[in-house]
Structure 1
Amino acid sequence: MGFCRFGRTKTKIARHRQCEESIFVLNDLEWISKIPECPVYHPSEKEFKNPLIYIQKIAPEASKFGICKIVSPVIASIPADVVLTKENKNFRFETNVQPLRLSKWNEKNIMNFSMSGRKYTYHEFEALANQAFIGSADMEKEFWHEMVNGEKGTVEYGVNVEGSAFSCHPNDKLGRSKWNLKNFSRLPQSTLRLVGKEIPGITDPMLYIGMLFSMFAWHVEDHYLYSINYHHSGANKTWYGVPAHAASQFENVVLHRVYNHEIMLKHGEDEAFQLLANKTTMFPPNILLQHGVAVYKAVQKPGEFVISFPRAYHAGFSHGFNCGEAVNFAIGDWIPMGAIASTRYAYLKMLPIIPFEELLCKEAIQFYKSSKVRGSMSKHIDFQSYLATVASFVQLMQFYEKALSRLKASRECSISSNTVGTLICSNCHRDCYVAYLMCKHCYSLPICLYHDITLQRCSCGDNFLKGTIF
């Protein structure tokens, strides 16, 4: 658990650089200057009052970059360290130990981020983190230089720490606003408000407490959701983002240029997606530039939000001790992306984290009820969200209409109402809400209607055609 080469003074760094191959530092990392910046937005206090409406406004432009920054016009009057030490005196967290190096090319470029570190209080970790010091004006070059030429040093990162550093004090203007991430995912315009349980990191925020060069590996959000990250305090953080329109190209490059060919199994790009989901793959963005993949960057400072858009891959690292907080959310334009993610999860037999089919149906019902009560949809309903939801809902209903028609043709099937909500298909792990089939004899494992039921047999040995449709 070391800080290899990080306890250096400015003089030692200068001497160290003179002894190294300056050609590598200055020339091989010139690609850094070729990565364009993502958009930065400065909402007025009036625009800031309704976050999801503001994000919908900037999304057509900002989503083309995968990530964007929003500079808050409101500051927190109660700092994160006060919230996490004085308001929550029992706050402690466990770190992950991260190797400060890249894996060799032509091997699986996967780092072991699962090594557990120690448990710390906020100030204990701050003191430890502040021992690591680099007096450099170009942290990005220093980071990638260490990652490529590092001597197997390690850093620690408090990642996925349950909790929030937003204050609920009535005098804290940011904490009282709708940008308080404790309530963000369940704002009226967010589809995640319909999730019936708390899911840390998805519906409820998590903290990320870092030190110099602690990093978050390349990943896309679960179910291609939006994410919002707030920088509470401390050193800056560098982000890289790849927009959704380049996601497939990104996965293809990772599959063929980063991972070993031994793992190129039948799923192709889906194999890369599944491995990237482990959040343990880190590589420099220059390989993306070399293969024409659009990539952008941001340097996030305290008081700034970073938004990642649906299906945008992103990665980054910290410039020193800092505290950030993040949560997911979903607005109307996410619905089609959510449908794509749901299909992909089922294809790879990955367990869903949120019940997409249930959320889609409930959102459609909400739109229907709202239009019936108010009578004028155009005045009271976000039209973009409405269109995206209706299109996906109609497509889902058309599928079930055809599937149910085929099953009803069998006299051995009976239909019953669904009283238990979402279940998981025992075959592909798809979340089933509208309809699924269960064996009439043992009622054990459900099968979704996306399969050829004639080929399916229950664990009890009976044919699923002799079943009940819910």
Structure 2
Amino acid sequence: MGSVEIPNWLKELPLAPEFRPTDTEFADPIAYISKIEKQAASFGICKIIPPLPKPSKKYVFSNLNRSLLKCPDFGPDNSSLGVCNSLKFGSGDGSSDGVSRAVFTTRHQELGQSQSVKKAKGTVQNPQSGVHKQVWQSGEVYTLEQFESKSKSFARNLLGSVKDVSPLVIESMFWKATLEKPIYVEYANDVPGSAFEESKGQFHYSHRRLRKRTYYKSRLDSSDCKQTVMGCGRDTQIDDTKGASVQSDADKCLRMTKSVETVSTFSSNDDSQSFKEKSSDTGNDMQGTAGWKLSNSPWNLQVIARSSGSLTRFMPDDIPGVTSPMVYIGMLFSWFAWHVEDHELHSMNFLHTGSSKTWYAVPGDYAFAFEEVIRTEGYGGNIDHLAALKLLGEKTTLLSPEVIVASGIPCCRLTQNPGEFVVTFPRAYHVGFSHGNCFEVYVHLIFAVNLCRRLLAYD
């Protein structure tokens, strides 16, 4: 595969707007997002490039590992949250410092289409199965370094013969893969943690009501929430009954690249003593760097939901993914399905380090029309609108933007690079995946601004 053909529909997709705030504008994220919302919301999504370089990989790994080591604060059921206890590692994982390193679990995602749902003599046996992808809770455990190594291996195998690995090429390969023989990628989503350092300056917020344990327990005990910690990230439906059989098949083809997507939470428990001493030295070395400046700015996703102008600052409890971010760790072609944020809120996302990510979005004004296209073109038109919404809510639907634009609905594309924020706007459906040919860290948070104006618009 020396070259990859880029389809015309993909080349013709408009780019989402890109904004570069000044130092002054960067001082107030909610005010800045409100300022650009009228223009950006007409696309459903936008990219914001801060006036700071991207954080270093060393800084990101240090903060993320330290944050993940605090996971026991969420209670004894933490294995269900996609994070395990820390382990002591030496040279076996590429490090010989003997420091405690956090581990996390991944899920297997299906990418592709089985023969039973492909066209046969002009017919499709099961259109609904063609757009719905399976996700299984595999329980495979990695340190950050181990998953990075596995991810890079997969990227080399898949992309090694491709001469040009531009975003358009990766996108073409992804959508082509959705129509071919299934492969399985790994994805760790809804992981409590953050690659932002905890803010120590004027943007540090105290949390008087910490009810994480109650929140997590109630969500995990719910039969509807087995697959997620909460439904506001890129959560995906899990088929527990097939996990064991798929794992053996997936192991054969899981030589994949990795991306880490982070959504951070507030936590105050002590780390293991050995890591505290090591990370303290690292933190001192990092003071004044780009990552340190970003963490001590109001754009730190650990504090932005409680900042002035954000309506979520009035929420009495800490809710991961809403008032505090969460971590997502993926690899090449790890994907998030078409979805809209809970309660029609905004979302903010930051890519810390590694490869790029691709996003596609439909403006919020076209949400109903989009749902109708999904119902008719994706699910075969055999279900009503409410049933289609329920299937979309499972966050397992992958339908090419080609079908969306062919139906007359505007759709744009966006390539997010390390060090860049992405904001999605209320009612804007979006989908995307990781380029993942090297390690990535990604952060996600939903928040609320201009809620009163939106409520008046519905009146």
TM-score normalised by the chain length of structure 2: 0.65
2:71 is the counterpart of 1:71: no
Residue 193 of structure 1 is matched in structure 2 by 313
Cα displacement string for residues 390-437 of structure 1 (whole angstroms, at most 9, x for unaligned residues):
x88xx7xxxxxxxxxxxxxxxxxxxxxxxxxxxxxxxxxxxxxxxxxx
Distance 1:254 1:335, change over 3 A: farther
Residue 106 of structure 2 is matched in structure 1 by 95
Question: How many residue pairs end up in the alignment?
Answer: 314
DSSP 3-state at the match of 1:261: coil
DSSP 3-state at the match of 1:232: strand
C-alpha RMSD of matched pairs (Å): 2.1
Give, as a single letter, the amino acid of the residue that structure 1 aligns with 2:147. F
| Pick aligned residue for 2:425 from 294, 309, 326 | 309
* Identical residues among aligned pairs (%): 38
DSSP 3-state at the match of 2:154: coil
Q: Using the alignment, how far apart are the partners of 1:130 and 1:61 within structure 2? A: 38
Residue 430 of structure 1 is matched in structure 2 by none
| Pick aligned residue for 1:107 from 116, 128, 147 | 128
8 Å contact kept, 1:117–1:156: no
Q: CA deviation at 1:283?
A: 1.3
8 Å contact kept, 1:253–1:291: yes
2:16 is the counterpart of 1:38: yes
Asked which structure has the greater CA Rg, the reply is 1
Residue 395 of structure 2 is matched in structure 1 by 279
Q: Using the alignment, how far apart are the partners of 2:393 and 2:325 within structure 1? A: 19
Residue 215 of structure 2 is matched in structure 1 by none
Distance 1:30 1:117, change over 3 A: farther
2:146 is the counterpart of 1:124: yes
User: Counterparts of 1:434-449 in structure 2 under 5 Å?
Assistant: none
Give, as a single letter, the amino acid of the residue that structure 2 aligns with 1:294. P
Q: Using the alignment, how far apart are the partners of 1:296 and 1:65 within structure 2? A: 7
Residue 178 of structure 2 is matched in structure 1 by 147
Q: CA deviation at 1:86?
A: 5.3
2:333 is the counterpart of 1:213: yes
Q: CA deviation at 1:83?
A: 1.1
User: Counterparts of 1:251-290 in structure 2 under 5 Å?
Assistant: 251-262=371-382, 264-265=383-384, 268=385, 270-290=386-406
Q: Using the alignment, how far apart are the partners of 1:73 and 1:291 within structure 2? A: 39
102-111 vs 291-300, greater mean Cα deviation: 102-111
2:321 is the counterpart of 1:299: no
Give, as a single letter, the amino acid of the residue that structure 1 aligns with 2:13. I
Residue 55 of structure 1 is matched in structure 2 by 33
DSSP 3-state at the match of 1:165: coil
Distance 1:107 1:272, change over 3 A: closer
Q: Using the alignment, how far apart are the partners of 2:41 and 2:199 within structure 1? A: 34
Q: Using the alignment, how far apart are the partners of 1:248 and 1:227 within structure 2? A: 20
Residue 270 of structure 2 is matched in structure 1 by none
Q: CA deviation at 1:185?
A: 1.3
2:443 is the counterpart of 1:325: yes
2:64 is the counterpart of 1:84: yes
Q: Using the alignment, how far apart are the partners of 1:162 and 1:277 within structure 2? A: 22
DSSP 3-state at the match of 2:39: helix
8 Å contact kept, 1:102–1:282: no
Q: Using the alignment, how far apart are the partners of 2:138 and 2:349 within structure 1? A: 24
DSSP 3-state at the match of 1:73: coil
8 Å contact kept, 1:157–1:214: yes
Q: CA deviation at 1:223?
A: 0.6
The unaligned stretches of length 5 or more in structure 2 are 70-85, 87-101, 118-123, 201-286
The unaligned stretches of length 5 or more in structure 1 are 1-12, 18-24, 340-387, 396-470
Q: CA deviation at 1:176?
A: 0.5
Q: Using the alignment, how far apart are the partners of 1:47 and 1:80 within structure 2? A: 25
Q: Using the alignment, how far apart are the partners of 2:343 and 2:332 within structure 1? A: 30
Residue 443 of structure 1 is matched in structure 2 by none
Give, as a single letter, the amino acid of the residue that structure 2 aligns with 1:69. K
Distance 1:46 1:218, change over 3 A: same
| Pick aligned residue for 2:193 from 159, 163, 168 | 163
TM-score normalised by the chain length of structure 1: 0.63
Q: Using the alignment, how far apart are the partners of 2:199 and 2:448 within structure 1? A: 27
Q: CA deviation at 1:273?
A: 2.2
Q: Using the alignment, how far apart are the partners of 1:86 and 1:327 within structure 2? A: 20
User: Counterparts of 1:11-30 in structure 2 under 5 Å?
Assistant: 13-14=1-2, 26=5, 29-30=7-8
DSSP 3-state at the match of 2:172: helix
8 Å contact kept, 2:311–2:449: yes
Residue 98 of structure 2 is matched in structure 1 by none
Q: CA deviation at 1:272?
A: 2.1
DSSP 3-state at the match of 1:317: strand
8 Å contact kept, 1:231–1:325: yes
Cα displacement string for residues 309-329 of structure 1 (whole angstroms, at most 9, x for unaligned residues):
001000001011311001011
Give, as a single letter, the amino acid of the residue that structure 1 aligns with 2:111. L
DSSP 3-state at the match of 1:124: helix
| Pick aligned residue for 2:355 from 210, 216, 235 | 235
DSSP 3-state at the match of 2:134: coil
Cα displacement string for residues 189-209 of structure 1 (whole angstroms, at most 9, x for unaligned residues):
111112221211122101111
Cα displacement string for residues 120-153 of structure 1 (whole angstroms, at most 9, x for unaligned residues):
111111111111121433111111121222x221
Q: Using the alignment, how far apart are the partners of 1:37 and 1:96 within structure 2? A: 31
Q: CA deviation at 1:243?
A: 0.6
Q: CA deviation at 1:187?
A: 1.2
Give, as a single letter, the amino acid of the residue that structure 1 aligns with 2:354. G
User: Counterparts of 1:313-392 in structure 2 under 5 Å?
Assistant: 313-320=429-436, 321-332=439-450, 334-335=451-452, 337=454, 388=456
8 Å contact kept, 1:41–1:70: yes
Q: Using the alignment, how far apart are the partners of 1:290 and 1:46 within structure 2? A: 42
60-69 vs 270-279, greater mean Cα deviation: 270-279
Q: CA deviation at 1:88?
A: 5.1
Residue 371 of structure 1 is matched in structure 2 by none
DSSP 3-state at the match of 2:14: coil
Q: Using the alignment, how far apart are the partners of 1:229 and 1:237 within structure 2? A: 11
Q: CA deviation at 1:102?
A: 4.2
Distance 1:87 1:203, change over 3 A: closer
Task: Work out which structure has the larger RCO, using CA pairs closer than 8 Å and 6 or more positions apart in sequence.
Answer: 2
